[in-house]
Amino acid sequence: MKNLFTIIAASLLLGTASMAAEHTGIDNNSAYLDLRPNGTTLRTTAASRIVVCNMMGQMVANTEATEVSTAGWQPGLYIARQGNAVVKFVVK
């Protein structure tokens, strides 16, 4: 059984965060979770379960898709999970 591999990278640009996480599994299939710099779209390369919670622990998104729009969400800190990849991001 192959080990799971996770890379989490973050950069700050003019107060907006751009974060990404990549993980591969047993079949070495790669999925990529990417938060766009404008902060309005959470995107992945393959359709898979994406779960997003706010800091109160409330689930705000639970979908199997390649993209989740954060437009219209309340400002605050959120946590997105896709498989073993976890990304924290801020909606302003």
Whether the pTM exceeds 0.75: the reply is no
pLDDT reported for residue 66: 86
pLDDT reported for residue 90: 87
pLDDT reported for residue 1: 30
The more confidently predicted of residues 87 and 14 is 87
Structure confidence by residue, pLDDT tens digits, 19-58 = 444 444 444 455 566 655 456 888 887 788 999 999 999 9
- What is the Cα–Cα distance from 91 to 38, expressed in whole angstroms? 9
DSSP string covering the chain: -PPPEEEEEEEEETTEEEEEEEEE-TT--EEEEEE-TTSSEEEEEEEEEEEEEETTS-EEEEEEEEEEE-TTPPSEEEEEEETTEEEEEEE-
Residue type, 15: G
Q: Give the number of other Cβ atoms within 10 Å of residue 70's Cβ.
A: 20
- What is the Cα–Cα distance from 47 to 64, expressed in whole angstroms? 6
Instruction: List the domain boundaries for the chain.
Output: 5-91
Say yes or no to pLDDT of 8 above 50.
no
Mean of all residue pLDDT scores within the chain = 69
- What is the Cα–Cα distance from 73 to 21, expressed in whole angstroms? 22
What CATH class is the domain 5-91?
A: mainly beta
